[in-house]
Amino acid sequence: MLPAAEAEAKILALVPRPTEVEQVPLDACVGRILANAIPSPLDFPHWDNSAMDGYAVRYEDVREASAEQPKLLTLTETIPAGRSPTLPVGPGQAARILTGSMLPVGADTIVIQEVTQREGDGIQGDRVLVLETPEPQQFVRHRGSFCRTGEALMATGMAIGGPELAVLAAAQCIQVPVFPRPRVAILSTGDELVMPDAPLQPGQIVDSNQYALAALVRQAGAMPLPLGIVPDRPQALRAAIQSALAQADVIVSSGGVSVGDYDYVDDILAELGARLHIHSVAVKPGKPLTVATFPAAGGTAPLYFGLPGNPVSALVTFWRFVAPALRKRSGLATGWGPTFVPATTRAALKAGGQRETYLWGRLETTPQGCEFVLAGGGHNSGNLINLAGTNALAVVPVGTTLIEAGATVAVIVVGA
């Protein structure tokens, strides 16, 4: 059995980064991975503009302004956002300016309206008193100070979310280069399995893994290809794997990887020319784990994950080992592995000590820090009922049998 960290490193070393690129519309690229760096086609800001509502002035005209000795300036115009200035600001002059408005020629500083007083005959007034000396170039956002034309806005391998979408939109990037989503075939093996809409006979089990794994595949940024239930017959399994190889970049099966009489996965993989890299890992739940690669046929070598059939084991091994592989395979530049955070456990955590043990529950944020709340009920690989609501796995290291309540524990974040 490989230690968990060693197994993770070995798996990630087998995963190739994608090379193909596809163009998708701006409004369809959320959750995708940027395939090419995006150079800025514009300066940001596009021009000198004001960061505050106030008055655009020449600093030399107001450098000694105070409440006792205010500086009186003549107003030239009002510049609303979205409209270019029409007049320059000369000596003794100022322009009324709003946040985001373009700075007029001649002005180099913004005086905020809170330290001014309007004067004049009209309601708006045609002069302004400056009652405080500003800093030179105060509240001026200079052209290109955020990013200059030709500089990289975003780097290859970045995940596109809301902030990134805003940057792309601002740069008028309406077609976005992204990596294709990895295609992940999902197989459930076992004569005892039936679909959720089938009448349940004695001894049968509903195939929940197909649905859970498809959801987790999507969350990892990949495209699930559910291929259904495969009976415990070598010919049927061989045909199913061959079909999956023809249409997927990654294959994930559940069941058939232990040492039972009907566990055929490893033998079939060997018959099909796969190279088996991992047979089991020193974790609980989820010791049986097959990881294999197939020879590349004119493209990238497909990767195979054979997960345990027990529902909790299947999900835990996916979170721990498959999700990082899919994040790398999707083109993400960094951050493939699980996110570990320290947390205070509210309950005592018990383990056998022989394998790295994962206990599921919820990570909650409090004013005092992160706390781990252990799920109630039995913690065994067949009990998926208390898995509902799980967003974290507490890690009990090898050699540890008890972590007392109130102690700090490493926690893997697995969901929202």
What pLDDT does residue 323 have?
Answer: 97
The CATH homologous superfamily of the domain defined by 339-413? MoeA, C-terminal, domain IV (2.40.340.10)
Separation between Cα atoms, residue 33 and residue 162, nearest integer Å: 13
Domain segments of the chain as ranges: 4-19+181-329, 22-44+146-178, 49-141, 339-413
Under-70 pLDDT residues of the chain: 121-125, 258-262, 297-300, 416
Q: Identify the three-state secondary structure at position 262.
A: coil
Residue 383: exposure state from Cβ atoms within 10 A (0-12, 13-18, ≥19): middle
Closest Cα partner for 128 from 71, 86, 51? Answer: 71
Separation between Cα atoms, residue 141 and residue 197, nearest integer Å: 61
What pLDDT does residue 382 have?
Answer: 80
Residue 384 exposure: Cα atoms within 13 Å on the Cβ side = 14
Helix (H) or strand (E) holding 357: strand 356-366
Closest Cα partner for 86 from 104, 101, 98? Answer: 104
User: Cβ distance 103 to 50 under 8 Å?
Assistant: yes
Q: Identify the three-state secondary structure at position 294.
A: coil
Return the sign of the alpha-carbon dihedral for residues 24, 25, 28, 33. Answer: positive
Q: Identify the three-state secondary structure at position 317.
A: helix
Separation between Cα atoms, residue 340 and residue 337, nearest integer Å: 9
Q: What is the CATH number of domain 49-141?
A: 2.170.190.11
pTM score of the predicted model? 0.88
The residues with which 288 forms a beta bridge, in sequence order, are 280
Tokens of 85: 């200035």
Widest pairwise Cα distance in the chain: 98
Closest Cα partner for 335 from 344, 326, 348? Answer: 326
What pLDDT does residue 119 have?
Answer: 85
Cα→Cα distances 189→205, 234, 237, 248, 253, Å: 12, 11, 8, 18, 7
Separation between Cα atoms, residue 379 and residue 82, nearest integer Å: 61
Instruction: Summarize pLDDT for 326-354 with one digit per residue, the tens.
Output: 999 999 999 999 999 999 999 999 999 99
What pLDDT does residue 113 have?
Answer: 95
The CATH homologous superfamily of the domain defined by 4-19+181-329? MoaB/Mog-like domain (3.40.980.10)
Measured from the Cβ of residue 69, the count of other Cβ atoms closer than 10 Å reads 8
Query: Helices in 138-259 by DSSP H: which ranges?
Result: 162-170, 209-219, 234-245
Closest Cα partner for 327 from 130, 135, 157, 106? Answer: 157
User: Cβ distance 324 to 317 under 8 Å?
Assistant: no
Q: Identify the three-state secondary structure at position 298.
A: coil
Architecture (CATH level 2) of domain 22-44+146-178: Alpha-Beta Complex (3.90)
